Amino acid sequence: MKIAVLAGDGIGPEVTREAVRVLEALGLPGLELVEADVGGAAYKAHGHPLPPATLEIARASDGILFGAVGDPTCDNLERHLRPEQAILGLRKELGLFANLRPARVFAGLTEFSALRPEVAGAIDLLIVRELNGDVYFGEKGIRVLPDGRRQGWDMMSYAEDEVRRIAHVAFKAAMGRGKKLCSVDKANVLETFQLWRDVMIEVSAEYPEVELSHMYVDNAAMQLVRNPGQFDVIVTGNMFGDILSDQASMCVGSIGLLASASLSEGTLGLYEPIHGSAPDIAGKGLANPIATILSAAMLLRHSLGLEEPAARIEAAVAGALADGIRGGDLGGTMGTVAIGDAILERL
């Protein structure tokens, strides 16, 4: 069982280190961790944010544990050399098209939500974000118009098979949960999302038990803070899912708590916290490692089929939070390593 560990930039290395300690503490026989450079760190060391060697290590692994990429000192590089291209490249190259971003309030943490506790307490939802298409992967550029004005442009599109395969992932996820699926689109304005809606309706015929609803993304953003408890599974495109999942994290209380899985058609998956590289606190030992530790649990479950140790990690995290273990993101004072220690103790 080979896990590629791609720590990346900013707080990536510090939070990933804690998740690795947790994985090692489980003492799983045959587990091998292989580290590789990615993001701005890889650009600085090898001249490319996703060096071929890193891609190969990722491809040859059974699961990828990913920290974060993003480095302000790289923001002026040509786009294809920027750190973000590493995660976009991994998603594309490895066919990681289904991004699962669960959001649930932990016991005792409702007071940290940006929402009223009784509203936040009802959150138990899963965002299924399409990850290989949409405007993120379309042709793009900055061109000069005949009259001399510069124009930025990005092509948004979804082919029906791309929508269909994420629809199946979402319907299956809904079957395993509350059997409610809300497809979020912008069909009132965008043709891309008219097709999206049409295909969702077509696929729904195969899942008669799942109640499918549709919501425009602006309304979904509003409903997510008004009454997030109404959602079970949300399925949406790459860009809307990017935005709504950050929003969902604050409804839960901290972006430092949310893990994610990016899955392919096979068992290979990439697991990462939904937060970014947080350059403002990088290297200070302040970041909350919980989202990454929970991502490691998702890796064990989804890519290695190891439910029992995954559940042990989740129980240790829940236990630590219930006992008042708090980093700065949750009004506490504990640093990255101390939070890792607290979770290891409970493991």
What is the contact surface with ligand IPM in residues (CB under 6 A)? 69-70, 84, 87-88, 242, 274
DSSP assignment of 42-108 equals HHHHHSSSS-HHHHHHHHTSSEEEEEE---GGGTTS-GGGSTHHHHHHHHHHTT--EEEEEEEPPTT
Among 130, 185, 242, 329, binds Mg ion (CB under 5 A): 242
Cα-to-chain-centroid distance, residue 66 = 10
Render the burial of 297-316: b for 16+ CB within 10 Å, e for the rest. bbbbbbbbebeebbebbbeb
Picked from ligand IPM, Mg ion, none, the partner binding residue 134 (CB below 5 to 8 A depending on kind) is: none
Of 49 and 335, which has the nearer Cβ to ligand IPM? 49
| Whether residue 154 lies in the annotated active site | no
According to DSSP, residue 327 is labeled: B
Of 49 and 289, which has the nearer Cβ to ligand IPM? 49
| Whether residue 140 lies in the annotated active site | no
Catalytic residue among 43, 134, 185, 186: 186
Least distance CB 98 / ligand IPM (angstroms): 13
DSSP 3-state assignment of 257?
A: helix
Picked from ligand IPM, Mg ion, none, the partner binding residue 84 (CB below 5 to 8 A depending on kind) is: ligand IPM
Instruction: Copy the structure tokens of residue 83.
Output: 């750190």
Contact 115, 254 (CB under 8 A): no
| Whether residue 242 lies in the annotated active site | yes
Site membership for Mg ion, residue 84 (CB under 5 A): no
Residues 118-137 that bind Mg ion (CB under 5 A): none
Between helix 307-322 and helix 290-302 the angle, nearest 10°, is 160
**Residue whose pair of structure tokens reads 């009784």 in the numeric block:** 118
Least distance CB 242 / Mg ion (angstroms): 4
DSSP 3-state assignment of 265?
A: coil
Residue nearest to ligand IPM (CB): 84
Residue nearest to Mg ion (CB): 242
d(CA 84, CA 226): 32
Catalytic residue among 62, 124, 246, 341: 246
Picked from ligand IPM, Mg ion, none, the partner binding residue 87 (CB below 5 to 8 A depending on kind) is: ligand IPM
Picked from ligand IPM, Mg ion, none, the partner binding residue 88 (CB below 5 to 8 A depending on kind) is: ligand IPM
Catalytic residue among 134, 242, 271, 329: 242
Among the residue ranges 96-104, 110-118, 228-236, 239-247, the one whose residues contact Mg ion (CB under 5 A): 239-247
Closest CA to 331 of 116, 121, 124, 108: 108
Active site residues: 136, 186, 218, 242, 246
